[in-house]
A = this chain, B = another copy of it.
Amino acid sequence: MSIGPKQALFAEFAKVARALGHAHRLELLEFLAQGERSVEALSQRIGLSVANASQHLQQLRRAGLVGSRRDGKFVLYRLQDEAVVGLLTTLRIVAERNIAEVDRIVRGYFADRDCMEPVSREELLRRTRAGAVTVLDVRPPDEYALGHLPGAINIPLRQLEARLAELDPDQEIVAYCRGPYCVLSFEAVATLRGHGFKIRRLEEGLPEWRAAGLPVE
């Protein structure tokens, strides 16, 4: 049976989908969405051997999802295209709506730590224009350095309890991190609520903010 051009195209699309078909690769993409990274940095963050991370990254590259360049003795990987963030977002939305297990995990872990509605991008924009809101980036400093929301202050989650003095207890805080299911901002909300702060989570993370064409510092 000779296959037509449609089948050939679908086979290519399927390769891209398969590249998204592993939890480690999705996690690699989440980190790469923060900014470009060396293989070793990625492998450490995710807890993979360097060789394993390298092979996963090459699969992502073959699928056109990431690109790489050499800088000295490092090879830096990056997302190939802002549209990849959109693909991950729609994948997440479809899974949220139709997979019961996703709902179960979200209820079991995330809902506990943030019973309040998250803040949307639009709402945050309105509030920052009005002035009375502190934007808090709880990611590690290196990710903050690669780009962050305008005016955001950076206190990594681990240091949060020790640096409470830097936060104004009377002003509302909006915390964000890597993405919708990055645990950092959830933990930050739980921690700061425990200390009496008025804090909510931004619905999504920096990559989605950037992909929406909003300004990044």
Contact = CB atoms under 8 A, between A and B. Distances in A.
Contacts of A9: 102, 105-106, 181
A88 to B, nearest CB: 8
How many copies are assembled? 2
Given A10-B27, A23-B14, A181 B5 contact: yes
A149 interface: no
Interface string A104-118: 011011100000000
Nearest to A5: B109
A81 interface: yes
- Chain A interface category by residue count: 35 or more
Given A6-B181, A13-B91, A65-B94, 5 more contacts: A5-B183, A11-B23, A13-B23, A20-B20, A65-B98
Interface of A: 1, 4-18, 20-23, 25-27, 30, 47, 63-65, 80-81, 83-84, 86-87, 90-95, 97-99, 101-102, 105-106, 108-110, 181-183
19 contacts: A4-B183, A5-B108, A5-B110, A5-B181, A5-B183, A9-B105, A13-B91, A13-B92, A13-B95, A14-B21, A16-B94, A17-B21, A18-B22, A20-B20, A64-B98, A65-B94, A83-B97, A87-B90, A87-B91
